[in-house]
Chain A
Amino acid sequence: MPRIIVEVMPKPEILDPQGKAIASALPHLGFTDFSAVRQGKRFELTVEGEVTEQVLASARTAAAEMLSNPVIEDVISVRVDDEGAA
């Protein structure tokens, strides 16, 4: 069944304490190549049937109104998952 992938990230200007904690833990485990980490969310919306433009529009609305909080988060992408559709 096809899926729509929605990705949500904390706004760049908003401090991400979880990402920060991960970033500071990485060097302890020997991962020294990364200077910053930000942690976001990925939603997989399973669709019964075809992903029409209308379904996609509905996903965008859900992403903007419920899956994210515009005060602290941005919706990065709303797209059809090609692999999931196989």
Chain B
Amino acid sequence: MSEPTVTDKEFNIDTVEHASTTPDTDLPWAALGLKSDEYDRIVTILGRRPTAAELAMYSVMWSEHCSYKSSKVHLRQFGEKVTEEMKKDLMVGIGENAGVTNLGDGWAVTFKIESHNHPSFVEPYQGAATGVGGIVRDIISMGARPVAVMDPLRFGDIDHPDTLRVLPGVVSGIGGYGNSLGLPNIGGEVVFDSVYQDNPLVNALAVGVMRHEDIRLANASGVGNKVVLFGARTGGDGIGGASVLASESFDDSKPSKRPAVQVGDPFAEKVLIECCLELFHAELVEGIQDLGAAGISCATSELASNGEGGMHVELTNVLLRDPSLTPGEILMSESQERMMAVVTPANAAEFERVMAKWEVEYSWLGEVTDTGRLIIEWDGETIVDVDPRTVAHDGPVYERPYHRPSWQDSLQADTFRSSSAGQDLPQTAQELGGAVVDLMTSPNMADVSWITDQFDRFVGGNTALSQPDDAGVIRVDEETGLGVALSTDANARYAYLDPYTGAQLALAESYRNVATSGAIPMAVSDCLNFGSPEDPEVMWQFAEAVRGLADGCQELGVPVTGGNVSLYNQTAGRAIHPTPVVGVLGKFDDVGRRTPSGFERWADGQAIYLLGTTADELDGSEFARGRDHLGGLPPKVDLQAEKMLGEILINASRDGMIDAAHDLSEGGLAAGLAEMGLRFGVGARVAVDGICERDGVDPFTALFSESQARALVALPRSEELRFTDMTSARGFAALRIGVVDASSGDLEVAGPYEGGSFTLGLDELREAWSAVIPSRFGTLGEATEAVRQEK
């Protein structure tokens, strides 16, 4: 195959020398997304106009997506509101590709969530696929072996035609890419809400593990060391995508700003994973950086500024898929499955051997210098000469104005109980039973296995829990059973009612989910999905959410180790609800101790306890959603109670007291009981009388309120005394509400209401519950049916 050569090209190369002599040339800085003061600042930094290539670099690196220019001033709190105690297991903090937490026994874990929202709206399959690819490369570039992925997904109304287009594409994209990498998909979320119409949220989490000595950082150290680009070739994918796709709203008046979609090659990524792990194992790289948004611009400037400070690169050495690319386009290209590494000259031959073994293409681009300058040449002529820090770290920082929305007070005053939706509530056994069925067959409570069955949850042989359990659990060390649990959560309805509390509720739920599985929560990663930062009301939501999350992490003692901000999630001036997705990572000394989330068949007769107390907290609830109401104040947060509940669940798991546990969140006790029964098709007989008496609530509230810091557990009668001793020693409310009934397959709920009790057949409930999503998205079912009939 012939290599594209420089002589094939007919560019007017804008060299540094040329730029110095042509100060008045008009450059398309505005089209590249820069503001005029930002452009002026570049000119000030350089002392001249930038070259076209320099302008490309600054424009992508100073975009919202890469520079966090609107969010930075708020995100600082994650680093400031940290105690020494919180830092003790933190091996690498915020700022690297992903934070690293010590797991003990010489093991470390790294995890991170990122968004790929806008690309997934434009091209659902490729957008979601490359989202998985990008987050996995972040994990590899820390020196870790990726071991699992999760996907928090949010779509528009389930019956909106665009959801029909976006959801199946996103799901096959995640599966098509993730399944091909050999990474089990161990959980996530699926939420439908009309606020995400035209702005689906496709977030992706990846987790990786490594031995302490394998931790790698993105820095170019060692003067004279060589810089190498390897993996896929560079093409025209997503040029400008970093600054345009990820940062600008989709406004129909600007169709020309929709650039090409990046296309993913999962096979190339899988080979890249194994190839990188072999490089790490043989200690052949000094520093490594994945190429994501802003491609080579980002990799060269970050590696250089985090290391010796300088780098010299010959850009014509980049292997191209499309020989017509200009230098600026090469610098901006977001072609997937590429990595950049720093290698000592002594290791170069061995590096090349590993590349040959895995049949990975590579090209030596240049070397590390201590000049403090990033010099990029094009066929020997200098086209970039910058201080890399000014590109990578010294981008603009905005103190965007923000204020509490004028409508916030009236929204909070519009409580569920005071609204028309809050009248005529179910009271009799029959009405309450019907309400539970309605709840469980609503789109947001329905069975998501149509989606998760398209993901491989077994590969690797280390998955101890996955969807639909509260957390995903992965074994790290096969000898000892050391492992991790992960959960991601957000309730954007709560955050809309009160962003400060809403962010803490997301944290509390994720923390609770991890503890419910039996793991000790250790670290947090977040993906903050919001509307436009240029809207002061959205900016207020953002500022409040960050403040709430930082305060919450401090109170719970779990540090934020990394994350991602996705702004401009709005279309035609309508922002999504603030959606701070919070991922919590927990640790197991032995994942064999993990607690299942449902009643198992052999657990017949076990006692069911409700932990925590129930108040009248229906505002923002799933029940209220079912009646199209959103107003009032979200449930109260009590992080000390969450911490204590967590301790109880963790101790009970470690000491083998409980055989099932499930946290109560959306849908309250009603959903919790139904889900525990549906998990393995095993029923229960419970009564809510005790809750009503003790907490002074009516049966409806007992069933549907979403009060926090609550969980259900099932335990053998022989453990009841030990368990209740533990809860009463802590002064934590625990109430025996019923027993597991494996014989009937029914969920029977008695209470102080007309009719005395209602009974739900789990088989019937399952049929309705599991039909909700396929009935909308099984559109290929017609073809399938035709195919089946033909055979």
Instruction: Consider the complex of A and B and state whether they touch directly, i.e. have CB atoms less than 8 Å apart.
Output: yes
Taking Cβ atoms with an 8 Å cutoff, the residues of A that contact B are 15, 17, 20-21, 23-25, 48
Instruction: Find the A residue at minimum CB distance from B783.
Output: A21
- Binary contact track B767-790/A, C-beta < 8 Å → 1, others 0: 000000000000010111011001
Residues of B close to A17: CB separation below 8 A:
783-784, 787
CB <8 Å contact, B790 and A25: no
B791 x A20 contact (CB < 8 A): no
Name the B residues within 8 Å of A20 (CB-CB). 783, 786-787
Q: Report whether over half of chain B's contact residues are helix, strand or loop; otherwise say mixed.
A: helix
Residues on A with C-beta less than 8 A from B791 are 15
CB distance from B246 to the nearest CB of A (A): 31
Pair A15/B780 contact, Cβ less than 8 Å? no
Complex CA gap A51/B480 in Å reads 62
Asked if A24 and B790 sit within 8 Å, CB to CB, the answer is no
Complex contact A15–B790 (CB within 8 A): yes
CB-defined A-B contacts under 8 Å, sample of 18: A15-B787, A15-B790, A15-B791, A17-B783, A17-B784, A17-B787, A20-B783, A20-B786, A20-B787, A21-B780, A21-B783, A21-B784, A23-B783, A24-B782, A24-B783, A24-B786, A25-B783, A48-B2
B residues within 8 A CB of A15? 787, 790-791
Interface of A is mostly: helix
Q: How far is the CB of B778 from chain A (nearest CB, A)?
A: 12
> Across the interface, which residues of B come within 8 angstroms of A23, CB to CB?
783
Number of residues on chain B facing chain A (CB within 8 A):
9
Distance between Cα atoms of A20 and B787 in the complex (Å) = 7
Task: Using A15-B790, A17-B783, A24-B786 as known contacts, list a sample of 15 further A-B pairs with CB atoms less than 8 Å apart, ordered by residue number in A.
Answer: A15-B787, A15-B791, A17-B784, A17-B787, A20-B783, A20-B786, A20-B787, A21-B780, A21-B783, A21-B784, A23-B783, A24-B782, A24-B783, A25-B783, A48-B2
Alpha-carbon gap, A23 to B784, bound state (A): 12
B125: min CB distance to chain A, Å: 15
Smallest CB separation, A40 vs chain B (Å): 18
Q: How far in angstroms is the closest Cβ of chain B from A22?
A: 8
Residues on A with C-beta less than 8 A from B2 are: 48
- With both beta carbons as reference points, the residue of chain B lying nearest to A22 in the complex is identified as B783
B786 surroundings in chain A (CB, below 8 A): 20, 24
User: Which residues on A sit within 8 Å (CB–CB) of B780?
Assistant: 21
Q: How far is the CA of A17 from the CA of B788 in the complex (A)?
A: 10
- Cβ of A21: which chain B residues have Cβ within 8 Å of it? 780, 783-784
Tell me how far the C-beta of A7 lies from the nearest C-beta in chain B, rounded to whole angstroms: 23
Smallest CB–CB gap between A1 and chain B, Å? 9
Most chain A beta-carbon neighbours within 10 Å: one of B2, B787, B791: B787
Chain B proximity of A60: nearest CB distance (Å): 22
B588 to chain A, nearest CB (A): 42
Identity of the chain A residue whose Cβ is nearest the Cβ of B791 in the assembled complex: A15
Nearest 7 Cβ contacts at the A-B interface: A21-B783, A24-B783, A20-B783, A24-B782, A20-B787, A17-B787, A21-B780
Contacts of B790 in A (CB 8 A): 15
CA distance A48 to B784 in the complex (A): 44
Name, among B2, B783, B787, the residue most crowded by chain A CB atoms within 10 Å (CB to CB).
B783
Interchain nearest-CB distance for B168 vs A (Å) = 12
A10 smallest CB distance to B (angstroms): 13
* B11 CB to nearest chain A CB (Å): 23
Chain A minimum-CB-distance residue to B779: A25
Q: Give A20 Cβ to nearest chain B Cβ, in Å.
A: 5
Q: How many Å lie between the Cα of A20 and that of B780 in the bound state?
A: 10
Bound complex: CA of A48 vs CA of B1, how far in Å?
8
What distance in Å separates the Cβ of A30 from its nearest Cβ neighbour in chain B?
15
B782 CB to closest chain A CB (Å) equals: 5
The minimal Cβ–Cβ distance linking B186 to chain A, given in whole angstroms, is 29
| Bound-state Cα–Cα, A23 to B790, Å | 14
Chain B residues, Cβ within 8 Å of A48? 2
Q: How many angstroms between the C-alpha atoms of A21 and B784 in the bound complex? A: 7
Residue of A nearest to B2 (CB): A48
Tell me the bound Cα distance from A24 to B790 in angstroms: 14
Bound Cα distance from A17 to B787, whole angstroms = 7
Assembly CA distance A15 to B784 (angstroms): 12
Q: Which residue of B lies closest to A23 (CB)?
A: B783
